[in-house]
Amino acid sequence: MATRREFLRSFPVEILERMREFMSYTFPQGDTEGAARAVEAKRRTAAIDVSRCLAWGGAGCQLCYLACHLRDKAIEMRDQKPVVAALFCDGCGMCVTACGTVNDLPAIRLEEEG
């Protein structure tokens, strides 16, 4: 199994730059629309389509896992494959954005709860 450092070194620089860009985003003070989107996001959880997931297909991708601020709770890596724990997922969507940097059609989507 590759270390996080080895994994990140194996990715093209442009993908890592896009990851840094969205991972550093914060809502500006007074951004009520952004806050409303965050509240709405809490009603959804991430779901992985294993047929489109690079890691589930044998590639060494961990972008969704690395993007998750609840890493090792909401998304865990098991046998080098991401697994979502819906109980801990807050529906922020960072994993979906991360997946979209390497997949034209992201393998992760947010689904409505219940």
Q: Which residues of 44-67 are buried (b: 16+ CB within 10 A; e: fewer)?
A: bbbebeeebbbbbeeeebbbbbbb
The answer to whether the pTM exceeds 0.85 is: no
- Domain layout of the chain by residue ranges: 4-25+44-112
pLDDT, tens only, 63-74? 999 999 999 999
Q: Which fold has domain 4-25+44-112?
A: Alpha-Beta Plaits (3.30.70)
Note the pLDDT of residue 53: 94
